[in-house]
């Protein structure tokens, strides 16, 4: 048998094998899908936001996701050394609560603000205790070790990363997601606010869920 004949035979075998595989694939793809065991998983199209966390507030108290239950919560991830965006967002959230409380302080009894640091190396309990004196009394700052912060950020789909200054300098900034989350009384995600959302807009959204 010549070399060319052998090559043709091999090609023929390969072609038959590919044809057989194609037939198997066609039969499987054409078969009816069971509505029970083989039913596709339904997805809402929205990423899950929220989950368990265990952190320490700026008073030194341990806080978990249980603190969300029974309250509307505005939650923001940032850091105390942030030069502009983080304090602006904290001020906006506080101003939104003041708008709601105008004339009736009881309207914000079940609303809280949680500020979770993404810079636990600098944002100790003591440092955050000093920092939070600048903001609304309904606001609490949470910190923890690196693993605890990473776990909380992952649960809330928050990105953060250290950005070093000039080489040899110890100064650094933190790049992070800039989103305010509104969590419901059952701890579930309700809405979010991007940078530039006004206190009036936040207050209006809160009113929708106050019942």
- Domains delineated in the chain: 54-208 (3.40.30.10)
Predicted structure pTM score:
0.77
Look up residue 25 and give its two tokens: 């694939």
Spell out the per-residue pLDDT of the chain, length 211, in tens. Answer: 433 333 334 334 333 343 343 333 333 333 333 322 333 333 344 568 999 999 999 999 999 999 999 999 999 999 999 999 999 999 999 999 999 999 899 999 999 999 999 999 999 999 999 999 999 999 999 999 999 999 999 999 999 999 998 776 778 999 999 999 999 999 999 999 999 999 999 999 999 998 6
What DSSP string describes the chain? Answer: --HHHHHHHHHHHHHHHHHHHHHHHHHHHHSPPPSSTTPPPP--SS-------EEEETTS-EEEGGGGTTSEEEEEEE-TT-SSHHHHHHHHHHHHHHHHHTT-GGGGTTEEEEEEES-TTT--HHHHHHHGGGS-TTEEEEE--HHHHHHHHHHTT--EEEEE-STT---EEEEE--EEEEE-TTS-EEEEEETT--HHHHHHHHHHTT-
């Amino acid at each position: 048998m010549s070399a060319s004949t052998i090559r043709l035979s091999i090609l023929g075998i390969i072609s038959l094998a590919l044809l057989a595989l194609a037939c198997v694939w066609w039969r499987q793809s054409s078969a009816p899908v069971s509505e029970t065991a083989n039913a596709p998983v339904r997805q809402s199209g929205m990423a899950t936001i929220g989950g368990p966390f265990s952190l320490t507030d700026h008073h030194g108290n341990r806080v978990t996701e249980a603190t969300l239950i029974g309250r509307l919560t505005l939650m923001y991830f940032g850091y105390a050394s942030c030069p502009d965006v983080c304090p602006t967002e904290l001020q906006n959230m506080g101003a939104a609560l003041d708008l709601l409380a105008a004339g009736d302080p009881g309207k914000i009894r079940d609303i809280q603000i949680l500020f979770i640091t993404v810079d636990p190396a600098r944002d100790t309990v003591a440092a955050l205790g000093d920092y939070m004196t600048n903001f609304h009394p309904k606001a609490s700052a949470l910190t923890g070790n690196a693993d605890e912060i990473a776990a909380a950020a992952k649960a809330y789909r928050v990105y953060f990363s250290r950005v070093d200054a000039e080489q040899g300098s110890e100064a650094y900034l933190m790049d992070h997601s800039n989103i305010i989350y509104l969590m419901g009384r059952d701890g579930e995600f309700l809405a979010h606010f991007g940078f530039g959302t006004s206190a009036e807009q936040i207050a209006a959204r809160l009113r929708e869920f106050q019942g």
